[in-house]
Amino acid sequence: MNKITKIGLTALAGSLVATSAFAGAMSVSGSAKVSYQSKGSSAVNPYSNSKGLTFSGSGELDNGFTVSTSYTMTDSAFSTSHVSLDMGDSGTLHFMNGTSKAGLNKYQDKMPTAGEQVWDDVDADDNGVVGTGNANTFGYEISAMGLTLSASWGKEATGTDSSLVVVADDLAEGLSVGYGIGNNSVSTTQEDDHSTAFVTYTSGMATVGVQTSSIDKPSADEDRLAAAISLAINENMSVSYGVSTVEFETSGSSDEESSGISASYTMGGMTFAAVMNQTDSVAGTSGTDKEFKEISVAFAF
């Protein structure tokens, strides 16, 4: 090998080392959860174990901006990822895949809870809950003068999804008010309009909230009203209760009514949690009632 080649390789190695040091630091965190779940069927083993790994990193650019990224796997399968550029007073730009850093998905249910939302895990439809696509989607969020603007935009296979949310947190101490709109491409010929408005108020150990949402479809609109209260018993333990009612404009459909209680207790990296949710007239079908109960212990590493 001649001297010129050696010099070139040495310079390349030096630049790679310098770039690696400049890029910042990477870290790995993990979680493990053992659960007992009851969904009203004795034929299914109610015990399960879920594991998660998150790789994350961040670094500061020459202009003071900060770049951060994360990649999460759940049970050895891809779950979520993001790349974010924090531009200080100019806001934060996100590229999201399966996660909700900005836009309507981030604010789809703002009701306080100590565990799961009352509609979660009861069925797979999440009726009345607003949201847009979040696979390889751009997001942007900025806060100024007591207002937060949060937007998302994504190109789906069936069309374009977009959303915008405005949140006011400075109207009064402990009070947060928000309103959001968006569109969700269901097919190449159908685009549903989503909107939501919420109010939450925190005073002492209690947080209460009310949220109304609407999904306008060509033939079957869904209107949802939710309310919840959570209590922080102490710095380790919280409990909550919530209700949710979805009204379907389809002829012959009943109101889907959900309610639930959650509790959690955190001790260091260990969290004990209990959830009990119930939904009557699932998807508007009278007599189709479902329950979900879970007791779990989770560890964070």
pLDDT digits (tens, 9 = 90+) for 211-257: 999 999 887 899 999 999 999 999 999 999 999 999 998 888 899 99
Which H/E stretch holds residue 31?
A: strand 25-38
Residue with tokens 């779940």: 37
In sequence order, which ranges of 3-114 are alpha helices (DSSP H)? 3-23
| DSSP 8-state code for residue 43 | T
- 16, pLDDT greater than 60: no
pLDDT attached to residue 173: 93
Report helix, strand or coil for 22: helix
Residues 283, 154 contacting (CB under 8 angstroms): no
End-to-end Cα spacing for the chain = 48
Mean pLDDT of 193-198: 97
What tokens appear for 16 in the block?
Answer: 């790679």
From 37-41, 149-153, 293-297, the region with the lowest mean pLDDT = 37-41
Residues 196, 214 contacting (CB under 8 angstroms): yes
Residue 24: pLDDT band by 50, 70, 90 thresholds? confident
Q: Enumerate residues 6+ apart whose C-beta is below 8 A from 301.
A: 29, 30, 31, 32, 269
Residue 41: pLDDT band by 50, 70, 90 thresholds? low
Mean pLDDT of 173-195: 93
CATH 3.30.160.250, applies to 29-300: no
- 1, pLDDT greater than 60: no
Q: Enumerate residues 6+ apart whose C-beta is below 8 A from 251.
A: none
pLDDT attached to residue 39: 67
Paired with 28 in beta bridges are: 55
Per-residue pLDDT reduced to its tens digit, 111-144: 999 999 998 877 667 889 999 988 999 999 999 9
What tokens appear for 43 in the block?
Answer: 């034929």
What tokens appear for 250 in the block?
Answer: 């389809």
| CA neighbor of 280 nearest in space, from 288, 272, 270 | 288
pLDDT cut 90: percent of the chain above it: 70
* Burial group, residue 279, by CB count within 10 angstroms (0-12, 13-18, 19+): buried
Please state, in angstroms and as integers, the Cα–Cα distance from residue 248 to each residue in 9, 214, 281, 290, following that order. Answer: 68, 10, 11, 18
What tokens appear for 247 in the block?
Answer: 């009204």
pLDDT attached to residue 187: 86
List the chain domain ranges. 29-300
